Amino acid sequence: MNPDQSDQYDAGTAVIADSQQQQQQSDAPQQQPGPFSTNPTVNDLVLYHAPNTRSAGARILLEELGVPYRLHVLNMKANEQRSPAFLAVNPMGKVPALVHQGVLITEQAAVYLYLADMFPQAGLAPAVNDVMRGAYLRWMVFYGSCFEPALIDQAMKREPGPPSATPYGNVETTIATISDHLEKGPYILGDRMTAVDILWGTSLQWVTRFKLMTPTPAVQAYIDRMAARPSFAKIRDEDAALSAQHASEADPQKGAAPASS
């Protein structure tokens, strides 16, 4: 797993994610921070992305929200995430990094929470006064504060600290907490799919693919259910193409056509 602003920080391949607005927005002036528009143009919302990283989930979420955005692709095989230009955007050198009308948002959970709340018309986040809001926030934060640290510690064969000094307690309980919860319904909040399912759907795909956990039948059914969504398939295919392009740029021989005999 691997680890955000406008054209002035172009360090990789800028890809327009809304073709209908590409031409008319290409010369748009820089937006200044202020009241946000809930009907953004393609240059209002910029996602910095690298294929096969955590930012794939942010792309899926943007597809589900149906809002126009500009995609700025970083080639990690060329180490573009460590370039001075991108570090001027996000000093951590990580994706996803999102810029909305000049304001930077980083960190996976923050990006998901921000986007789903900013564009509520898609219904992917419970309202603040919805009784399920607390559960939604719980599972959004549980991933980064407990689940991923637990699995990374396990994968790195780090000696666990005492429970009182470990944010997740122990690996077994952490995995069982999400696995048992997914026995209760098709989605994290029961029958309703929300942005938190995009976080967990992409993340559980990754950790099971790399055998960092063994999925229960309920977890595997959840992974398959989320993977079948058109947004997941679209971004998966586009990321595969981007990854192949980056590999060929890193090693031109791989992308060369075979010589004729």
The reported pLDDT for the residue numbered 161 is 82
Looking at the DSSP bridge assignments, the partners of residue 105 are 98
CB-CB neighbours of 52 under 10 Å:
16
Phi-psi region of 119 (alpha: psi -120 to 50; beta: other; left: phi over 0): beta
Q: Which fold has domain 133-231?
A: Glutathione S-transferase Yfyf (Class Pi); Chain A, domain 2 (1.20.1050)
Q: Domain residues of the chain, as ranges?
A: 7-122, 133-231
The reported pLDDT for the residue numbered 159 is 85
Phi-psi region of 211 (alpha: psi -120 to 50; beta: other; left: phi over 0): left
Q: Which fold has domain 7-122?
A: Glutaredoxin (3.40.30)
Taking only the tens of pLDDT, the chain with its 261 residues reads 443 333 333 333 333 333 333 333 433 333 334 445 556 565 689 999 999 999 999 999 999 999 999 999 999 989 999 999 999 999 999 999 999 989 999 999 999 999 999 999 999 999 999 999 999 999 999 999 999 999 999 999 998 788 888 889 899 999 999 999 999 999 999 999 999 999 999 999 999 999 999 999 999 999 999 999 999 999 999 999 999 999 988 776 654 444 333
∠ CA 215-217-222, nearest 5°, is 80
Model confidence pTM above 0.85: no
Burial of 92 (0-12, 13-18, 19+ CB in 10 A): middle
Q: What tokens appear for 141 in the block? A: 């934060």
